[in-house]
Amino acid sequence: MKFRPSTKRSSTLALAFALAAGTVFTGAVFETPAQAQKQEKAAKADYSKGFIAAYTPVNENVSGEAPDYAAAAAAAPGLVAAAETADDRHAAGSIIYSVGAKSSNDQLMVQGLELMLASGKVAPEQVGQFHWSAYQLNQRLGNTAAARAGLEGAIAANYTLDAQLTDGSTRQLGADDMHRMISDLYFDAEDYPTGFAYLDEQIAARQAAGQTVPEAWVKHGFVTAYNNDMAEQARKYSLLYVQEHPTKTSWGDAIAVALNGSRFEYPEILDILRLSRRTDTFRDGSMYTEYIEAADPRKFPGEVLAVIDEGYASGMLDRSDPYVTESRAEAERRVETDKNDLPELLADARAGNANLVTVMAAGDTFLSYGRAAEAEEFYTKALDMPGVNTPMVLTRLGIAQLDQGKHAQAEATFNRVDGPREPIANLWAIYTTQQNAGG
């Protein structure tokens, strides 16, 4: 598409995490219940006799010179069934995890982690790490619900870790990243409604608390929707993106979505590109030529002339392009005559018998020359005339009010726009709010 956003595919935004089995317990020595009972009373371990009987042969098997992990795995159900106390369950989980790690059996590893966590005997400082490992393993197994539970457990434990990014650098991974990763569990399974619902829930909670929504959440929702041709979702997240994190990048992406999301005609394209001009988010020469086509040097020669010169100054517009040079010459030929006719147009549009065509011509012409007060006058007059294109007039009335610094009126006007132009007006309304906040 001509105005495709510059953001890369969502897969390149993802963090790259190592899922090495056994990393949590590498080198760990698991104490057997029988050994624990022989230790000093300070240990206070509580192992049941039946569990010790079931555990001892399994432990001897895996601890010998020729461990039989298949036999140990087969004994796991009996070991679990024999567990009566919290210490039993923790010891059962430990050895089951160990067998799973040594035999590359993810399911056993998950079972072991869950048993240990359920026992309540995991050291507080290790709880988050255990949940994180459970997430990794369940994600690999395709167990979405269990993987989500693992991430939620890690979040609840305030767990953080150093993660390697796709560019080879590392940074600390925390709760905000894990919330995004929960949405990814659903996106990866192509369950987009659930993934977006979760992301929306987290965003709404931050907003309700008066907190900034993490840029990664909004950008990820936007990119995921855009890359999967979900126009309405992409538009929603693009608006949120510029609201929460207004930058040239976010504004450029939001404008690109508006341009690509509907089959707009030139009047709509012109009003989108007018906003792109305000936000300085032209990304290539094609956007300037689109502006020239939409404005038309025969209709708005002053505006076309200014846009072409800005394009030349930016270096994006090719000075040798015949279409551009011809358009500039045409605009330059017309601009002086056009300006000389403004007093007559002003008088005609103010006349009591002025028709809609004349009034709209006056509003559009004065807006294109930056004479916002006159433009506001004629757009306001046009709104009460039969046959008026109300959404277009309201959009341009809002622009004229904004140009005069009437931020509250402009925002209210933009918010009255409905129909296909509503996405355009929404962007203008956000821009107006930000201009008002900025001074």
Give the separation between CA 12 and CA 5, rounded to whole angstroms: 15
| CATH architecture, domain defined by 341-439 | Alpha Horseshoe (1.25)
Do 33-157 and 173-256 fold alike per CATH? yes
The DSSP annotation for 286-350 comes to HHHHHHHHHHTTTT-HHHHHHHHHHHHHHT-S-TT-HHHHHHHHHHHHHHHHHHHTHHHHHHHHH
What was the pLDDT predicted at 260? 84
**Closest C-alpha to 262, from 231, 292, 286:** 231
How many C-beta neighbours within 10 Å does residue 185 have? 24
Is 184 within 8 Å of 195 (Cβ atoms)?
Answer: yes
Section 159-170 average pLDDT: 88
CATH of domain 173-256: 1.25.40
Higher pLDDT, 62 or 40: 62
Mean pLDDT (whole number) for 370-399: 98
Whole-number Cα distances in Å, 314 to 49, 113, 299, 308:
82, 59, 24, 10
Q: Give the global pTM.
A: 0.81
44 vs 424: which has the higher pLDDT: 424
pLDDT of residue 8: 27
The model's pLDDT over 289-303, given as tens digits with 9 standing for 90+, comes to 999 999 999 999 999
Q: What is the dihedral of CA 383, 388, 391, 393, to 10 degrees?
A: -60
* pLDDT score of 7: 29
pLDDT confidence tier of residue 220, bands split at 50, 70 and 90: very high
Q: Which band of pLDDT confidence, cut at 50, 70 and 90, is reported for residue 167? A: confident
Task: Give me the pLDDT at residue 163, please.
Answer: 85
Is residue 215 predicted with pLDDT exceeding 70?
yes
Could you read off the pLDDT of 233-249 as tens digits, one per residue?
999 999 999 999 999 99
Q: Kindly give, in sequence order, each residue whose CB lies less than 8 Å from that of residue 24, ignoring residues fewer than 6 positions away.
A: 129, 130, 133
pLDDT value at position 43?
53
Question: In percent, how much of the chain has pLDDT > 70?
Answer: 90
Question: What is the rounded average pLDDT of the residues 407-421?
Answer: 97
pLDDT exceeds cutoff 80 at 94:
yes
In eight-state DSSP terms, residue 9 is P
Lowest mean pLDDT among 64-68, 79-83, 190-194, 310-314: 64-68
pLDDT band at residue 6 under the 50/70/90 scheme = very low
Q: How confident is the model at residue 369 (pLDDT cuts 50, 70, 90)?
A: very high
Q: How far is CA 333 from the centre of its chain?
A: 47
Would the pLDDT of 261 be above 80?
Answer: no
Q: Residue 165 in contact with residue 142, Cβ under 8 Å?
A: no
So what's the pLDDT on residue 298? 96
CA–CA separation, 398 and 436 (whole Å): 14
CATH topology of domain 33-157: 1.25.40
Domains of the chain, residue spans: 33-157, 173-256, 341-439
- Determine how many CB atoms are found less than 10 A away from the CB of residue 82: 17
Q: How confident is the prediction for the chain on average, in pLDDT? A: 89
Q: Could you give the CA distance from residue 284 to residue 262 in angstroms, rounded to a whole number? A: 20
Is the separation of the CB atoms in 349 and 378 below 8 Å? Answer: yes
* Residues 363-375, mean pLDDT to the nearest whole number: 98
pLDDT at 96 over 50: yes
